[in-house]
Structure formats: structure tokens, C-alpha cells
Structure 1
Amino acid sequence: MDHHRNDSSRMKALLQSEDSKDDHERDREQSSTNGSSQATCSASSHSSLSPGLSRTRETEFGAWAEKVERQKEDVSSSSCSPLSALKKLPECQNSLGQLTFSMTHSVLIDVKIFNRGRSLSPQEGRDVWHSNFVKMPCSQLSLMTTKGAVFKTTNQKPRWDIIKKQLETLSKKSAATVKDVEDAILKYNPKYKGRWSFDALATFVERVHETENYFKPLFPKIAALAMDLPNSVKKAIPLLRRGQTASITLSQAQIACLLANAFFCTFPHRNTSDPKAEYHHYPSINFTSLFEKWSERKKEKLRAIMHYFHVMTDKEEKQDGLVTFERHVLRDADVPNWRSCKEKMSKLHVTSRGSIETEGTGMLQVDFAASRIGGGVLGSGLVQEEILFLMNPELIVARLFTEKLADNECLVITGSQQFSRYSGFGDTFEWAGPHKDNLPKDEWSRWQRQILAIDAVFFKDRRDQYNMLKVTRDLNKAYCGFKAHFPKEPDIATGKWGCGAFNGDPQLKAVIQLMVAAKVRRGLAFFTFHDEKLELELQQFYHLLVTEGTTVGKLYGLLEDFCAVQQASGGSCQVDLFDFIRNSLKPSRSNL
């Protein structure tokens, strides 16, 4: 790698002498690429040459580029694994046994009927209006104050009666306008009249091309789906609360019904983020923020969401799977002593091409989550987590019952279906059409897709991350998600976790995830999102770790040393983490 850096520096200087303006643009694009953790489009590290570059220098540059490619191939072949060498869910073949419920596993379908013939009938239950459960819009205890027309008296009646009346009226229409949707929603949310805006939804319906504009006939179908809630979900849904390991299994049809209610903003007590609000520590679930403040981002989000409802309300389509949401808590007694860990590096596949949600399908796919699950999916956010939730909208229902994740917690979602494809990222994000899932299903009729939501630490100042308390926190957070719960588990698909808006150092986050993967003895597929520089550096760094037989404990000690150096210098130390570890493992090498 040292020779590569010398060659790179020499060629950079040569190119600067030819066209400083083009170099400035290249450097700006490279900086932008390296600073984003999830960018799906970025400048190539082999940018086209300036028109004024001499043929001799062009030949020299080409030789250098070929040398870099050979280095990548040599390192990859000697240490890194091909993607095909990593395990996926279908290969694990763990026996799940019959689907059962327990004190920690709530199942919303009738398990006896399911285990006999796999029919997905809702589990009978009772109405529960309690702080430990989702307060449902169809609960008879959800009351609404109404005024008498003649005597100006006030009465309380079940809110669902008003909701049902509005949904029923809409469902009977052959087509409904956004104004119809707005009027219905405000009938049972009257205090938000004049405060909620539906401009994004209205503009969306107006601007989408007529060949794709099926939305007016779709609104009544979504209303009918929402109205079926009392028949679809009969058992109280427990909250996945902080500090409690627990799981919930629902059918895809039940999730669609719940999301239809989120679309029509029926969930009570979920319309404010006030610190004193009952659900302050939960993400929003009603779609009000998605319907307001028009932007091109909202347009593409709504295209994905509406396609999901288009599929789920199509009588010819049959989504008969289950989805499980598991909250895991890492107990103090289970936290590793990282300093004494003797495990060596597991398999690694690293690439600048492909993505977690495509090439990583079948592995444990890491969601670069916010502590409130789904982040800004119902707002303007469009980074990795939000895109993942738009392609797999069933994930959004986790926002209904998942409390904000603590530092020692994660959420694992098994069985969600991918409905859409996409291109771009952030402002360049576009819905790219339907996706047909061809994954196999497991014994519990769940698509063999497993998603792990873990939230990294946000750093306002990047220098703050070089602190062992923060490093250990992220090690434990990743360990909570990566640790196995079955004899055979799939390997892990991840990337620059927490390195975009959260300002994490990609090298540091890569080392943390390598350490945890080694500890739990699972392979790692690391997608750098078109960052070819990190791809090469990580390949070479991993090759060194394998060659030297470096243990997790040794790396932890080197992280302590690196953080101490950074703190002693006030963050002004210019050496990067990979170089620091390389020089520590091979003291005889030059500082280059």
C-alpha cells in the first residue's frame, strides 16, 4: 500500500500541473463521496483525464491505474472472500419448530390453525386500553367529544364510530380526491383542522404522469382496508418497550391493515412529539408529515408507498406471509471483555459495487438506523434507513410499537417483503418500479430476509468519536445485533454504518464491525457504496490483520492507543486509523 500511495501522490501532482480546475472538481467530488456513508452514486476514483494531458503522461497514468487494479485483485484473492463464500438464510436450515406464542412472543394469528394448515386467521383477543399496549383506533375506550346539533350539548362517543363512517363513505366511491381524503381525516382529528396540510399529497396526485396515476381509484381501496381493522387485528398489540427482550409476529395482511390506518391517521395519542406526550419515546406512525410540505423527495416516497398499497389491495395478489419483530437487549452480564477477546478475523468480502439490500439479500442486512426506528421515512429523510423502509414498507409498522432504542438494544425484523426498486440517494433518489420477491420462505411462512436495526452515535464534532466510551458503546451495540441466536446464522451485510449524517469515521466503523463479526464468528460483506478508496484500503488492512493473526483484544488495545493520541493532540493528529494500526503492528515500516 505504501508504494501505491507514492505512485498516487506522484500522479496527483502530475495531473494538477495540467488542469488545476479539473482537479479541484475531482477533489470536491471525492470529498463528497468519502463523506457520505450511504451514497449510491459517486465519482470514480479513475476520473477521465484532462484533454491537455500528454500521451506519455496518459500512458503513465494508465500504468498506475492498472497497478492499483492488480493490487486490489492480489489483496482480494489472498485474504478477502468472494460473496458466494458467505452464508445466507436458506443455507442455515435451522429448525424453527411449530409457531408458538409465549410471555415474550406475541403472535397475532391463530397458531393452532396455522400449525395445522397454514391458514392465517387472526388470533381472538380482547380490547386492551393500557400503557403497555398499542392504543387502537377501533377500541371502544377511544372516545371523542361531539356537540349536539340542536341543544348544543356535548357527548362522548367511540371515535371508531366516526372513523368507520368516514372510511365507509370513501370506500364506496369509485374514485376519491385528495380533498375527500383530507375531509375524512379531519372529521375525526378536528383539532388539527388548519394545522395539518395535505399539499404534498395533492401536488403528488396532480403531477404524476397519467400512465401511473391510479391513485384516485386507490384511495377508496385503502379506506376499505383500514376499515377492516376490528376483523383483522383482534388481539392487543404489546409495545416493544425499552429494557425488555420481546417479539411480535403479524401477518402481512394485518400489517397492511395497520398501515392503511396510519395512512388515514386514525391512531389515537400519536399526533404530537411533545416531551410530555404519552408516546414521546416512540416514532410517529400517522402519515400526516408525509402528506405535507411538497418536495421531489416526497413525490418519490409517495410513489413507493402508493405502489405498496396498490399491491396489497389487489385481490389477485396474495401476500400470505408472516413478519416477526424482535427487540433484543444486551444484559450487562453478556457484555464481552473486549480487551481479552482472543478471536481472530472472520471472513470478509469488501466491494465498492452492489448494495446491502440487493447483493446482501439473505444475509443479516444492517439498517443504519435512528434510535427511533425508521428515522425520517415519513418526513423528508432519504438516507439508507429511509430508503430501506420505502422499498420494504412493512418495516414502517415497527414504528407503531417500538420504543426508542437504548444503547444496549437492537431490533431484528424477519420476513418483510421488498415491493419496489430504486436508484439514487437523497435528492437523487427515485422510485424505479415494482420488485418481485423470489426469496424462499421459512417454516413460519416468513420471507427469508432479515434486517437488523442498530443506531450509531451522532457526533456534532467528528473528533468526539475518538473516545473509548463511545467506541465501546458501538462495539456493544453491534454485538447485540450480530450475536447468534441459532446454531447456524447467516453472515452479515453492512457498510459505512453511521458515517453519513452521523459523522462517523468509516475506518473506525469498519474496525468496530470487523471486531464484532470476529467475536461472534460470522462473516462480513462490507459494501462501501462506490467508495473505491475505502474498498482498497480495507482490503489491504484486512490482509494485514489476517497475516499478523491479529486478535479482537489486540485491536481493542490499539483503539485505546489511537484514541489517546487523538485526545492528546486535541484531534489534530493527521494519521488515520488504518495507518496507525499498521505502524503499530509493523513498527519497522515507514510512517507512509
Structure 2
Amino acid sequence: MAEHNTEYSSPLYLPHHPTSSVLNRGLVELLHDRDTVTIWEVIDSLLTSMTLPPSDILEYIAIYRDSISTVYIPPDELTINFHLVRKYGLMLPQLYPDGVIFRDQKTISLTILQIKCLLCHMVLGSLPKQFEWKETSRASVYYRHVLFYYLSLDNDTNDRCVTCTHHTIAPCQWEQLPEVLHQSDICTGTIEDNSIKNKVVFSNKNFGPGPGGTQEELIFGSYPETCVFPLFFSRSLRDSEVVLISQVLRVAEYSGYGREVEFKSFIEPSAEYHTLLLMDALEIDLFEDKKEEFSNENITRELNKCFCGFSQFTGGDIATGRWGCGAFGGTYSLKKRIQQFAANRAKVNIIFCEI
């Protein structure tokens, strides 16, 4: 599953690991009457019960974990799809027999079953990361719709693995940005809709799904297999680091952006899988002086970030766009030139998607 060295790994203990103990609150019928039990004993008892409403199961798990659930799912929608959550959720000890995930590794490779299992536990709220779905968010409605459809796909025996790799480079020396650069291809439409299989995700330092309609959140929602990989990282990305998620399946299309997101259609599963490059831009919206975006230090930081990412595709193509120019408040003309300059040095052809 993952290359790991326990000396340097930050472990995440799963619910069935012996150390994952919680106070026995007496709300769930268990085989043994003890003061403390593993969270898995609680989850197993709840998932094998056919009498409790699914919404109560999520509430009980939150109580035993002493947490607040961020997962909003309308009761009817949860009931209709809960057989999938139960089916894959109960496979956790079988699919992760060690009961532990060693995080911050260079390479993580997961089977479809392993991914579906973790997705279901994110729905249940039994892992540190949950789906932050909001009742009033159109994007959250889209993400729920796509996730449950993905869980229903008949692809459990598919031998495909989704691989997440962590890359870093030493900072480079950069001359001044030239006045004239090779013109990149420009197209209308979104990065996801572009026919190029390699795609840039305008991620946060702490990447992952969310309840809103930013580009990063929309990609994670449209490619639900990606949502489990933040579990494998214990820290944010550094300035010279990027993450690639390869052999990943796009499940659905949407229309709109931000608060206007709407489900458009499902995509028929096919042999065409994508590689997503997660790289975070500077959050210019947090700068006291927005002119600092143009300082040599900050331009160099962005060049190194792009070069680290684009270098993983030397000799190939990658679709990108308004990287760091949405919620992060970056200047598009500058960010475009930075991406062009880094791509030229990395010997990569970039296609700019203007939506």
C-alpha cells in the first residue's frame, strides 16, 4: 500500500487499532462491559445493527469520538445510500490489517476497495478528516451526489490502483522574468474538461475536499478517489513541495462556480484516467501590502513551486489556468508569466484554460 519507514513516519491509528480506545458511554450494546473500548467495537456494533436509523449511527459515532460531526446528509438521502456505507465501512480491518497509516511517505498506492472503505469512514465521521458538507451549499449537494454514485459503481474488482506521490526540489536560481516568452496554447472551458490528461489543481497548503465551490474543492468533489489522500499527510506543503495523484477517475461534470455550482451529468467510467498536480500558490489576499506579490522573494517562491510541479511532466503536456488568482487574490498576468517561465525551463507544454 505505502512505502514507510516507522522511524520517520507520523502514524494515524485507525479505529480498529488497539490504541484507538474511547470511553464506554453505554449507548451501544457491546460484547464486553468495560470502561474503555476501541472505537471499532462501537462502529462494528452500529453498522451491524439493522434497527438504528443511519442518522443516529453518525450521531453515536460523534458522541463516542467526543467530536462534532461536520457531515450534513439529508436523512432520506443517507438512508437510501447507507447500504453502501455499511458494506465498505465494515471492510476496514480486512483492508487495513495493521490498523495504522504511516503518513508523509513519498508514495502511497491504494486499491479501489481501500479507497471506498476510507471514503465511507469519512462519511461516518470515524476518521480525523470528515466531509465538510453544508446544508445550504449547492456545491455540497453536488459532492454528496457524486460520492454516492461513485460508491455504487461496479468497479470493486478493478485492478487499478490510485497512486499519490510527494515531490520536492532544491530551490533554483532564477534570472529576471523575460519580457517575451513562448506563447502557450489558450483554450476556453475548465481544466477538467480539457482533453489533456495531466491537470493542475490550485490547492491549499493543506489540500483536500471542502464544502464550497473553489477550483480545488470542485476537482476533489468530481474525482472522489482523491479525497482520502489528505489522511496520509500530517503537515502542510512546504514551498518546494508538490503532490501528484495518478490514475484517478473523474466521475461527474458540473456547471457554475462558487455559490452557483450545479450538478451537470455523470461521466461513464472508462479506461481514461488522469494525473492531478496539487500545487499551492501564495495567499496574496492575506498580504498587508498587495504589492509584495511582485517582490523577488515571492516571485522566486512561485517559480520554484511551479518548476517542482512541471518537472514531473518533462516532455509532456499539462492543463493549467488562473493558478492562485481566485480566492488567493493573485494577479493573473504575473501568475501566467511565472507558469510559462517555469514550464519553459522544465520543458513542458502548458495549456491555459481561462475558466
Q: Give the CA deviation at 1:318.
A: 4.9
For 2:114, the equivalent position in structure 1 comes to 254
For 1:520, the equivalent position in structure 2 comes to 346
Structure 2 counterpart of 1:359, which letter?
A: N
Q: Give the CA deviation at 1:148.
A: 6.8
For 2:30, the equivalent position in structure 1 comes to none
For 1:384, the equivalent position in structure 2 comes to 215
Q: Give the CA deviation at 1:484.
A: 3.5
1:49-88 pair list within 5 angstroms: none
1:19-58 pair list within 5 angstroms: none
In 1: Cα distance, 2:48 partner to 2:26 partner: 22
Structure 1 counterpart of 2:24, which letter?
A: T
Structure 1 counterpart of 2:189, which letter?
A: G
Change (3 A) 1:434 1:132: same
From 42, 45, 50, the equivalent of 1:162 is 42
| Higher gyration radius (CA) | 1
For 2:308, the equivalent position in structure 1 comes to 480
In 1: Cα distance, 2:37 partner to 2:65 partner: 19
For 2:231, the equivalent position in structure 1 comes to 400
For the residue of structure 2 that corresponds to 1:201, the secondary structure is: coil
For 1:451, the equivalent position in structure 2 comes to 276
Contact residue 392 and residue 416 of structure 1 kept, 8 A = yes
From 220, 238, 247, the equivalent of 2:102 is 238
Q: Give the CA deviation at 1:409.
A: 0.7
In 2: Cα distance, 1:239 partner to 1:471 partner: 31
Q: Give the CA deviation at 1:239.
A: 0.6
For 1:286, the equivalent position in structure 2 comes to 130
For 1:503, the equivalent position in structure 2 comes to 329
Structure 2 counterpart of 1:329, which letter?
A: T
Contact residue 69 and residue 125 of structure 2 kept, 8 A = no
Post-superposition CA distance 1:106-139 (Å, at most 9, x none): 29xxxxxxxxxxxxxxxxxxxx9x9622211121
In 2: Cα distance, 1:431 partner to 1:417 partner: 17
In 1: Cα distance, 2:117 partner to 2:302 partner: 36
Tell me the matched-pair count: 342
From 139, 142, 163, the equivalent of 1:324 is 163
For the residue of structure 1 that corresponds to 2:334, the secondary structure is: helix
1:184-195 pair list within 5 angstroms: 184-190=57-63, 195=68
Post-superposition CA distance 1:93-118 (Å, at most 9, x none): xxxxxxxx8xxx629xxxxxxxxxxx
Contact residue 347 and residue 524 of structure 1 kept, 8 A = no
For 1:492, the equivalent position in structure 2 comes to 318
| RMSD, aligned CA | 2.9
For the residue of structure 2 that corresponds to 1:452, the secondary structure is: strand
Structure 2 residue 131 is matched with structure 1 residue 304: no
In 2: Cα distance, 1:310 partner to 1:483 partner: 36
Q: TM-score, normalised by structure 2?
A: 0.86
Q: Give the CA deviation at 1:337.
A: 1.7
Contact residue 142 and residue 158 of structure 1 kept, 8 A = yes
In 2: Cα distance, 1:195 partner to 1:254 partner: 25
Q: Normalized per residue, which structure has more helix?
A: 1
In 2: Cα distance, 1:341 partner to 1:386 partner: 31
Q: Give the CA deviation at 1:371.
A: 0.6
Change (3 A) 1:131 1:329: closer
Contact residue 42 and residue 61 of structure 2 kept, 8 A = yes
Contact residue 383 and residue 426 of structure 1 kept, 8 A = yes
Change (3 A) 1:159 1:433: same
Contact residue 147 and residue 154 of structure 1 kept, 8 A = no
Q: Give the CA deviation at 1:143.
A: 0.8
In 1: Cα distance, 2:305 partner to 2:151 partner: 34
Contact residue 148 and residue 155 of structure 1 kept, 8 A = no
Contact residue 110 and residue 163 of structure 2 kept, 8 A = yes
In 2: Cα distance, 1:345 partner to 1:437 partner: 39
Post-superposition CA distance 1:466-518 (Å, at most 9, x none): 11111110000111111147xx6421210110001111000000100000010
For 2:186, the equivalent position in structure 1 comes to 350
For the residue of structure 1 that corresponds to 2:248, the secondary structure is: coil
Q: Give the CA deviation at 1:329.
A: 1.6
Post-superposition CA distance 1:296-354 (Å, at most 9, x none): 3322222222222222xx4x7754311110111222xxx32212899x95572112x12
Structure 2 counterpart of 1:323, which letter?
A: V
For the residue of structure 2 that corresponds to 1:134, the secondary structure is: strand
For 2:11, the equivalent position in structure 1 comes to 133
Q: TM-score, normalised by structure 1?
A: 0.53
For the residue of structure 1 that corresponds to 2:270, the secondary structure is: coil
Q: Give the CA deviation at 1:450.
A: 0.8
For the residue of structure 2 that corresponds to 1:320, the secondary structure is: coil
From 188, 202, 206, the equivalent of 1:372 is 206
In 2: Cα distance, 1:340 partner to 1:217 partner: 58
For 1:96, the equivalent position in structure 2 comes to none
For 2:174, the equivalent position in structure 1 comes to 338
From 56, 67, 70, the equivalent of 1:183 is 56
In 2: Cα distance, 1:329 partner to 1:194 partner: 35
Change (3 A) 1:224 1:158: same
Q: Give the CA deviation at 1:294.
A: 3.2
For the residue of structure 1 that corresponds to 2:102, the secondary structure is: coil
Q: Which has the higher contact order (CA 8 A, sep 6+)?
A: 1
Contact residue 15 and residue 38 of structure 2 kept, 8 A = no
In 2: Cα distance, 1:454 partner to 1:183 partner: 39
Structure 1 runs not aligned, ≥5 long: 1-100, 108-127, 206-212, 271-284, 441-446, 530-592
In 1: Cα distance, 2:176 partner to 2:329 partner: 29
Structure 2 counterpart of 1:247, which letter?
A: T
